[in-house]
Amino acid sequence: MKEENPLTHFNPDGRARMVSVTDKEDTLRVAVARGVITMGDETIRLVAEGGFKKGDVLGVAQIAGILGAKKTSDLIPMCHPLMLTSVDLAFEIDGNRILMESRVALTGKTGVEMEALTAVSIAGLTIYDMCKAVDKDMVMGEIRLVYKSGGKSGTYRRRGENIE
Amino acid sequence: MKEENPLTHFNPDGRARMVSVTDKEDTLRVAVARGVITMGDETIRLVAEGGFKKGDVLGVAQIAGILGAKKTSDLIPMCHPLMLTSVDLAFEIDGNRILMESRVALTGKTGVEMEALTAVSIAGLTIYDMCKAVDKDMVMGEIRLVYKSGGKSGTYRRRGENIE
Amino acid sequence: MKEENPLTHFNPDGRARMVSVTDKEDTLRVAVARGVITMGDETIRLVAEGGFKKGDVLGVAQIAGILGAKKTSDLIPMCHPLMLTSVDLAFEIDGNRILMESRVALTGKTGVEMEALTAVSIAGLTIYDMCKAVDKDMVMGEIRLVYKSGGKSGTYRRRGENIE
Amino acid sequence: MKEENPLTHFNPDGRARMVSVTDKEDTLRVAVARGVITMGDETIRLVAEGGFKKGDVLGVAQIAGILGAKKTSDLIPMCHPLMLTSVDLAFEIDGNRILMESRVALTGKTGVEMEALTAVSIAGLTIYDMCKAVDKDMVMGEIRLVYKSGGKSGTYRRRGENIE
Amino acid sequence: MKEENPLTHFNPDGRARMVSVTDKEDTLRVAVARGVITMGDETIRLVAEGGFKKGDVLGVAQIAGILGAKKTSDLIPMCHPLMLTSVDLAFEIDGNRILMESRVALTGKTGVEMEALTAVSIAGLTIYDMCKAVDKDMVMGEIRLVYKSGGKSGTYRRRGENIE
Amino acid sequence: MKEENPLTHFNPDGRARMVSVTDKEDTLRVAVARGVITMGDETIRLVAEGGFKKGDVLGVAQIAGILGAKKTSDLIPMCHPLMLTSVDLAFEIDGNRILMESRVALTGKTGVEMEALTAVSIAGLTIYDMCKAVDKDMVMGEIRLVYKSGGKSGTYRRRGENIE
């Protein structure tokens, strides 16, 4: 007999599958993810000024992140297609780091953690792209889930994070 | 007179544009990117065993990363569409971290840094997705360019990184 | 205090967001959009004959319009992904103009105006593409919503339009 | 008067439309499809060994099939977008043939036959791609629906097929 | 004998094909397209202010237009996939109309007229989407090619248009 | 030492990669693929009449096949993105079978076999979709490469096939 795999994304043959959520109930699902991109002093100055005078790097990243959240099931092979009903991002400049946060929601059969994480990742990659002509040393990191609610597994809050 | 914007992705009106590479020459372009995903002891054990017995998490991540590299110009708004001629990834388990590396190449008018960074990011998100049933505390980070060659700006090597 | 923005697609930071429809009820939503493409006498003759003898320009436009409606949330950054349950188009040749009409429906949390407008626009662009070898002077215009029903804002009927 | 077309995918003008399922009820829908790919003795040996030592052709095909199922409404013009809640594939090596089976489910207004058939077709094409360096004579065939349940038309079982 | 079809997008059976450009030479191709969106006084005021205080409608439209240009061969069935090397848009507010212009270039085997027209159309649809909460009467129109250069058919300039 | 894998799509770690064609020369590449779809007598009659009176099933399949060819690198994980310069399909009704043929070309670094096979597969799936309301017993099969030319491996002609 084949033993059960704790990584539920694999079938008894050991191959990846889209886990069945057919029998799950529709509940309100919310997920919040965060990440950080670190850059040089001059680069961060250009981004900070951007919104006002020269081109809004964070505005482009915001749109890319929202579009990216909608592409999650096409990007992450085992993700379910989902009808997101709300996606928003927020950015904060903190020294030479940009703090990124996404918030995604829907009423559905499975959670939106991957959508929130994808939104942050694509937003970060877009910031990198918009700034790479002046700085190739940027680093994107600390991409993590900070909150999720809804579904059978209940609410998750990452330790040490403030969530409004 | 409008002053020139060092962030070349913006036009004189301050709006994002796809930078013209129309007049650039086709040269061989290579980019290498790296990233890390950190997880709990039990999770890393399941991934490490996966390739042999229960489902190859890294194999799924590899495919997602390659497909992701091909979607870069659809994900990152100002990226040029490119005909990639080579994409590969490598993973190494190091304690409770998975080290990820992508290598992308083509002969073309612009570099493939964003494609390499996207491959690593999508591979990391896929690992997260495959393991999140057992571990929601994973963190993806240190996503950075380590090498690029080709084009007018020449070769870039990130300090402190070994590249074969 | 940040004042409320009548353009609901912007968050309090002034950045675009996908408006939350999480709490809205599922109701039947219908939208009808129209547009026109104007072309030279010889071109319109070729299109009119096409369905019978030489190649059905409008048949290709019809399919492109339906596929386009399904891509709306990928094309228009702040649109919600929606499970359309009905899409159809109709064309009428009127002098040297082709009148285009799309009709889209679903039961869902938000309206399908953008899907109907996208269907007409992509159909019109496809007609342009199929005919541009003989006529580059074509003009696409009068793309507008003529009817919508469902949702809290109720029924909209554009003045001066006949709708069956 | 225009007579009714038994091919319901056409409107009264004889042009393709997305059939309205707006008024249908949400019911559980399941579909199972099968197909076969035939190849040379040496090729089948390489595939059979692959899972263990040299590269898992069927693992790549599995992922491509699942991603393909999710793209069905983008590939098949008149298909409705659907929120699949379960997709899995299975492969069996039988002489010099690989037997492929997909199983797709959701609760929705229309069936998932096309999603199941697309999953098998894309999985087969991927096997072809992974092996074509050593064998260009492979043939993909016998792609058919073997089971469907749910909806007004009820359960379909293809004669002569065993389904668990 | 089948007579030749002046609509080159059809094959001798009367079915649509992707016209062969296999034997064409790579030359520099440029296309400029324009369009207009007309809206109420209050709506245009909100858009005009947007860039400064409340949310940059035109910035979102710009990004959607550039992403749309890159999707042209996926949207317009017979269009060739092309590696665009430059895309930019410009907007001008003129009374209660927004004038839109796109400019696309590459070195390749076929022209970029459809890419320029698609950029304008998707930008216009995005403006509609961002403003439709306050104005459903907007009309998008006058979408036309104003300039193209490169290739065997030479330079096209639309009569009565100023192009820099 | 890791032995070389005859399945070149795998890297030395046994994971799938996009094979490098970076150093290959651009040559003219052509591929022809064929397939068959078998259906009931009544169904084939409806398809045969369709082009004339009631809706052109094969016209829809033709467009889906061409769009499918352009999506190949998104569908088949290890395929290179390619700028196809010519795609056409042909259909022939032979008893209760529809014979399908695709022909794809470009000048590039790698062949278009997968694009030709994908075009035939997606065309066949579309025929299935358009007819499934009257016939669920259809079978799609005999999907195979019949001709390829260009590149280092030279010309391939499948035995027993006539190619014009």
* HEC profile of F34-100: EEEEECCHHHHHHHHHHCCCCCCHHHHHHHHHHHHHHCHHHHCCCCCCCCCCEEEEEEEEECCEEEE
* Structure confidence by residue, pLDDT tens digits, B81-130: 999 999 999 999 999 999 999 999 999 999 999 999 999 999 999 999 99
Separation in Å, CA of B106 to nearest CA in chain A: 18
Average pLDDT, chain C: 93
Give me the mean pLDDT over the E97-126 stretch: 97
Is the pLDDT score of A2 beyond 50?
A: no
| CA quadruple B123, B124, B125, B127: dihedral, nearest 10 | 90
Q: Provide the pLDDT for residue F89.
A: 97
Is the pLDDT score of B34 beyond 80?
A: yes
Interface test with C, best of F54, F63, F89 (most C CBs within 10 A): F63
Residue (of D87, D100, D91) closest to D51 by Cα position: D91
Task: Find, in chain F, the residue whose alpha carbon is nearest to that of E20.
Answer: F86
* Structure confidence by residue, pLDDT tens digits, E29-50: 999 999 999 999 999 999 998 7
Q: Does the distance separating the beta carbons of A77 and D105 come in below 8 Å?
A: no
Q: Which residues face A30 on adjacent strands?
A: A105, A149
Provide, as residue numbers in chain B, all residues whose Cβ is less than 8 Å from the Cβ of E90.
11, 13
Q: Provide the pLDDT for residue F1.
A: 38
Q: Copy the structure tokens of residue D152.
A: 């007004």
Q: Provide the pLDDT for residue F52.
A: 54
Give me the mean pLDDT over the F126-149 stretch: 96
Q: Which of B41-55, C12-26, C109-123, F101-115 has the lowest mean pLDDT?
A: B41-55
Provide, as residue numbers in chain D, all residues whose Cβ is less than 8 Å from the Cβ of A151.
none
Q: How confident is the model at residue B1 (pLDDT cuts 50, 70, 90)?
A: very low
Of F8, F53, F126, the CB nearest to D14: F53
Separation in Å, CA of E131 to nearest CA in chain F: 32
Is the pLDDT score of C4 beyond 90?
A: no
Q: Copy the structure tokens of residue F142.
A: 């005999």
Scored b (16 or more CB within 10 A) or e, E87-96 reads bbbbbeeeeb
Integer Cα distance of C12 and C3 in angstroms: 8
Provide, as residue numbers in chain E, all residues whose Cβ is less than 8 Å from the Cβ of F87.
17-18
Looking up tokens 């388990």 gives: B93
Separation in Å, CA of D5 to nearest CA in chain C: 16
Q: Copy the structure tokens of residue C27.
A: 């109701």
**H or E element in which residue C95 lies:** none
Angle at B63 between CA F14 and CA B97, to 5 degrees: 75
* Structure confidence by residue, pLDDT tens digits, C27-85: 999 999 999 999 999 999 999 987 655 678 999 999 999 999 999 999 999 999 999 99
Interface test with D, best of C60, C67, C122 (most D CBs within 10 A): C67
| Domains, in order of start, for chain B | 34-151 (3.30.70.640)
Integer Cα distance of C51 and C99 in angstroms: 16
Is the pLDDT score of C158 beyond 70?
A: yes
Q: Does the distance separating the beta carbons of D21 and C86 come in below 8 Å?
A: yes
Looking up tokens 């569409």 gives: B81
Q: Provide the pLDDT for residue A52.
A: 54
Q: Provide the pLDDT for residue E4.
A: 64
Torsions phi, psi of D103, nearest 5? -140, 120
The one-letter amino acid code at C2 reads K
* Structure confidence by residue, pLDDT tens digits, D10-67: 998 889 999 999 999 999 999 999 999 999 999 999 999 876 556 789 999 999 999 9
Separation in Å, CA of A107 to nearest CA in chain C: 7
Q: Does the distance separating the beta carbons of C71 and D16 come in below 8 Å?
A: no
Whether the CB-CB separation of E29 and E148 falls below 8 Å is answered with yes
What DSSP state is assigned to residue F110? Answer: S
* Structure confidence by residue, pLDDT tens digits, B39-67: 999 999 999 987 655 678 999 999 999 99
Whether the CB-CB separation of F60 and C65 falls below 8 Å is answered with no
Q: Copy the structure tokens of residue E153.
A: 């058919």
More confident residue, E150 or F49: E150
* Other CB atoms within 10 Å distance of the CB of residue E125: 27
Length of chain E: 164
Is the pLDDT score of D110 beyond 60?
A: yes
Integer Cα distance of F143 and F76 in angstroms: 16
Looking up tokens 């949207």 gives: E75
**Residue F135 among the catalytic residues:** no
Q: Does the distance separating the beta carbons of E78 and F83 come in below 8 Å?
A: no
Q: Provide the pLDDT for residue D156.
A: 96
* Structure confidence by residue, pLDDT tens digits, A19-36: 999 999 999 999 999 999
Q: Which residues contact C32 (CB under 8 A, 6 or more apart)?
A: C101, C102, C103, C104, C116, C145, C146, C147, C148, C163
Packed helices A57-70 and E57-70: angle between N→C axes, nearest 10 degrees: 50
Scored b (16 or more CB within 10 A) or e, B138-155 reads bbbbbbbbbbbbbbeeee
Whether the CB-CB separation of A87 and A103 falls below 8 Å is answered with yes
Give me the mean pLDDT over the F101-127 stretch: 97
Separation in Å, CA of B48 to nearest CA in chain A: 12
Is E76 near chain F, with CB under 8 Å?
Answer: no
Separation in Å, CA of C27 to nearest CA in chain F: 28
Cα atoms in the 13 Å half-sphere on the side-chain side of E5: 27
Predicted structure pTM score: 0.96
Three-class HEC string of chain B: CCCCCCCCCECCCCCECECCCCCCCCEEEEEEEEEEEECCHHHHHHHHHHCCCCCCHHHHHHHHHHHHHHCHHHHCCCCCCCCCCEEEEEEEEECCEEEEEEEEEEEECCCCHHHHHHHHHHHHHHHHHHHCCCCCCCEEEEEEEEEEECCCCCCEECCCCCCC
Q: Does the distance separating the beta carbons of C81 and A83 come in below 8 Å?
A: yes
* Residues 12-31 in B contacting E (C-alpha not used; CB under 8 Å): 13, 15-22, 24
* Structure confidence by residue, pLDDT tens digits, C70-95: 999 999 999 999 999 999 999 999 99
Q: Provide the pLDDT for residue E53.
A: 57
Query: Of the residues D26, D41, D94, D129, which is catalytic?
Result: D129
Cα atoms in the 13 Å half-sphere on the side-chain side of B26: 12
Interface test with A, best of D87, D88, D92, D127 (most A CBs within 10 A): D88
Is the C-alpha dihedral spanning A52, A125, B132, D127 positive or negative?
Answer: positive
What DSSP state is assigned to residue D110? Answer: S
Provide, as residue numbers in chain E, all residues whose Cβ is less than 8 Å from the Cβ of B15.
58-59, 62, 89
Whether the CB-CB separation of B36 and B142 falls below 8 Å is answered with yes
Interface test with C, best of D8, D22, D112 (most C CBs within 10 A): D22
Q: How confident is the model at residue E2 (pLDDT cuts 50, 70, 90)?
A: very low
Provide, as residue numbers in chain B, all residues whose Cβ is less than 8 Å from the Cβ of A60.
9, 16, 77-78
What Cα–Cα distance (Å) separates residue F154 from each residue in E101, F27, F147? 47, 11, 11
Q: Provide the pLDDT for residue A163.
A: 87
Whether the CB-CB separation of B17 and E70 falls below 8 Å is answered with no
Q: Does the distance separating the beta carbons of A60 and B16 come in below 8 Å?
A: yes
Average pLDDT, chain A: 93
Q: Provide the pLDDT for residue E52.
A: 54
Q: Which residues contact D88 (CB under 8 A, 6 or more apart)?
A: A11, A17, A18, D66, D102, D103
Query: Of the residues A88, A129, A135, A137, which is catalytic?
Result: A129
Provide, as residue numbers in chain F, all residues whose Cβ is less than 8 Å from the Cβ of E24.
85
Q: How confident is the model at residue A54 (pLDDT cuts 50, 70, 90)?
A: low
Which runs of consecutive H residues, i.e. helices, occur in chain E?
41-50, 57-70, 72-75, 113-131
Of F13, F77, F109, the CB nearest to B66: F77
Longest dimension (CA), chain A: 66
Q: Does the distance separating the beta carbons of E140 and C56 come in below 8 Å?
A: no
* Residues 81-110 in A contacting B (C-alpha not used; CB under 8 Å): none
